[in-house]
Amino acid sequence: MSASELAIRAIPFEKLTAAGVATQLLTERHRQNLSGLATSLNVPRRTIFYREETPAEWVFMISKGVVKSYRELPSGKRHIATFLFPGDVFGLAENGRFVNTTQAITRVTLYRIPVDALKDLLLRDADLQFRFLVKVTHQLREAQRHTINVTRHTATGKFAMFIKMLERDEHWRAESSGPRTLMMPMTRTDIADYLGLSPEAVSRTTSRLVRRGILAFPDRHRVRILNPSELDRLAGAA
C-alpha cells in the first residue's frame, strides 16, 4: 500500500530516534545505517498500515503513538493480537505475507523500512541482527503474557493484567501528583477484542473495580490506580 493510499505525509529523516527500548538497543552507528533506509511517516488515527495476507514489503518502528494488530475472524468478530507502543517493531511476516492487519489507534509517528533493504543490512551487520532478535524476543514474551491473560477464568483477572501491561509502558503514564494515572487510548471495544470478552463484560468489570476502590476513570482514556497492591493481587490470581 502506497503512502498516498494511506493518506499520510512521508518525510525522509536524517536520524532514527525511535523512543523506548528501540533507542536503548540501537547504537549511533546502527541509527545512521538505518537512517539511509527509512522514511518517517506521520499518520492520522485509524490509518490501516497493511492487511493480513498482503505481500510484506515494509517493516515499521513506532516513535510516537499506539497501533493495534488484529485478525478478522470468520464469524465477523475481530481478535486483537497485540497493542504496539513506542519502540515496538512490527511488519514481520510469514512466507512473505503479513500475518495480521495493523491500524493506528492514535496519531502515530513511525519509521518505514523496505524489507529487502533491511534484510541486506542485517546480513552485513551481525550485531544489528542480534539487536533486532532481542527486540523480537521481547515482543514474543509480550505475546506469551497475552496468551496467559486471555486464558484467565475471570474477567477481573484479565482486566487487571491489562492495566499492568499499560503500567509497564512508560510512554503511556500521565503526569499526576497523586495516585498513578495511565493513558488508555484504546476503546472499550478494542480492550474487549484483546481480552476475549464482550464490551458489556468490560464495562461491568470496570464498574466493579471502581466500586471496590481499586481503579478510577477520570475520563474514558485515563485510568487511575488507587489500590496498587490489590490490583497486583488480582493480576496474579489464577
Residue with grid cell 544489528, as numbered in its chain: 128
Q: What separation, in Å, do the N-terminal and C-terminal C-alpha atoms of the chain show?
A: 43
Quickly list DSSP for 133-184: HHHHHHHHHHHHHHHHHHT-SSHHHHHHHHHHHHHH-GGGEEP-SSS-EEE-
Superfamily classification of domain 3-149: Jelly Rolls (2.60.120.10)
Q: Enumerate the CATH 2.60.120.10 domain ranges in the chain, comma separated.
A: 3-149
Helices then strands, counting H and E runs in the chain, come out as 9, 15
pTM of the predicted model as reported, rounded to 2 decimal places = 0.79
For residue 171, what is the DSSP state?
G
Per-residue pLDDT of 177-197, as tens digits, reads 667 899 999 999 999 999 989
Residues of the chain with CATH 1.10.10.10: 152-236
pLDDT, tens only, 112-124: 999 888 888 888 8
Mean pLDDT computed over every residue of the chain: 81
Determine contact, residues 47/5, Cβ cutoff 8 Å: no
Is the pLDDT assigned to residue 146 strictly greater than 80? no
| SS3 assignment, position 51 | coil
Those residues with Cβ within 8 angstroms of residue 76's Cβ, 6 or more apart along the chain or in another chain:
none
Which are the contacts of 176, defined by CB distance < 8 A and separation ≥ 6?
224
Rounded to an integer, the average pLDDT of 42-60 is 94
Strand order in the sheet with 58-64: 9-12, 39-43, 108-114, 58-64, 89-90
Quick one: pLDDT at residue 22? 41
The type of residue at 142 is E
Res 5 pLDDT > 50 = no
Query: Where does 152-236 sit in CATH, by number?
Result: 1.10.10.10
